[in-house]
Chains A and B, each alone.
Chain A
């Protein structure tokens, strides 16, 4: 158990809809990173939030957006869902933002029909 929790566990949406995924970071961690893991692939970095500000972004379109709250929990929002957005979405928290000391949550499995 890493102390990082994500909700919901599974989600089914249809193309064009919007979705919000949630992540609670481990106690004492102020940085959250989000990753997309397609079936059979490694995770891909979406973006990172540090002290409520976006602190780096991977190669994802603007319809992927996020928030971080004062308690350091975070949300990932995806608008205008596409079939290719079907994936496991992982969040990871760390104390300093250093990616080599981050802990991953179990992920949210999103299916877009």
Chain B
């Protein structure tokens, strides 16, 4: 299946700092999704992107759908302790085929 590479693999940041992470693929996707997963829970959708170049915000989170349709970026501004978790990108091609990235583990130091 498609391979989605996320970077960085893990991040340690101070509370209040901004965070940037990205996701790249060798394949083109029609939709990019960003999820957060906390321990013992399933992923929760943060942002969905539907068009190349699209920039969408959800509170302190901003994500962009890359122009080439092979990448996407997620930024978190002014991080807080509850931002801790694993962030996954996911790309959708057909109607029911969703491919997840390898994840970025975020640790926020108070």
Residues of A within 8 A of B (CB): 2, 4, 33, 40-45, 48, 55-56, 58-59, 90, 92, 97-100, 102-107
Q: Are A42 and B103 in contact (CB under 8 A)?
A: yes
Known pairs A56-B94, A58-B1, A97-B95; A44 contacts B31 (CB<8 A): no
Question: How many chain B residues have a CB neighbour from A under 8 Å?
Answer: 25
Binds A, one of B40-48, B64-72, B74-82: B40-48
Residues of chain A within 8 A of B31, CB atoms compared: 99-100
Instruction: Kindly provide the distance from the CB of A58 to the nearest chain B CB, expressed in whole angstroms.
Output: 7
Instruction: Kindly provide the distance from the CB of A7 to the nearest chain B CB, expressed in whole angstroms.
Output: 14
Q: Are B101 and A106 in contact (CB under 8 A)?
A: no
Residues of chain A within 8 A of B45, CB atoms compared: 100, 102
